[in-house]
Amino acid sequence: MSADDPRPVSAPAPAPRPAPAPRPAPATVAAPKQRPDPRPMRLALGAGTIAAVSIMAAGLVRFPAPAGDGSGDVVAADAPVTETLSTARPEVRIKHKTVYVQLKRGQKAPKGARVISGAVPTPQIVVTRIPAQAATTRVRPAPRRVVTKTRQSGH
């Protein structure tokens, strides 16, 4: 025992720790996961890429016009097409259909629509007799609307 030792003199020395037991080896070593073969997908992707590039190239490149039918007439690709009576399209007739819609009370016609007011008969009022009380009866005005302004509490 030395003077530096913080243990009291009466305490027995601690028992040495037992050595850790060796760990058992795993019974089977896990094999790496089988991955699918990428070659077929790479071939499909390559074939699709080649097809897409060929379509784009065909759209960008101007191919020469055919030489004609052998009579020496060459049709230019940029020449304007002139129509004759034999090559012209037949005239197409368009049949316009007018749809009338009756609006309900309070509805408005959409912008740009032509509004046709329906035939309203002129009102005819026939007074046969005037009662004596009608001349002396006082007409009361409509009650005024009272608007109360309030504030939200705390403001």
**What digits encode the pLDDT tens for the residues 43-60?**
999 999 999 999 998 888
Give the mean pLDDT of 23-31: 73
pTM (two decimals): 0.25
Q: Is the pLDDT of residue 135 over 90?
A: no
Question: Does the pLDDT value for residue 132 go beyond 70?
Answer: no
**Would the pLDDT of 40 be above 80?**
yes
CA angle 139, 143, 149 (to 5 degrees): 165
Q: What is the pLDDT of residues 74-126, one digit of tens each?
A: 555 556 666 666 666 677 788 888 888 888 888 888 888 888 877 777 777 77
pLDDT grade, residue 133 (50/70/90)? Answer: low
**Which 3-state string (H, E, C) describes the chain?**
CCCCCCCCCCCCCCCCCCCCCCCCCCCCCCCCCCCCCCHHHHHHHHHHHHHHHHHHHHHHCCCCCCCCCCCCCCCCCCCCCCCCCCCCCCCCCCCCCCCCCCCCCCCCCCCCCCCCCCCCCCCCCCCCCCCHHHHHCCCCCCCCCCCCCCCCCCC
pLDDT at 62 exceeding the cut of 70: yes
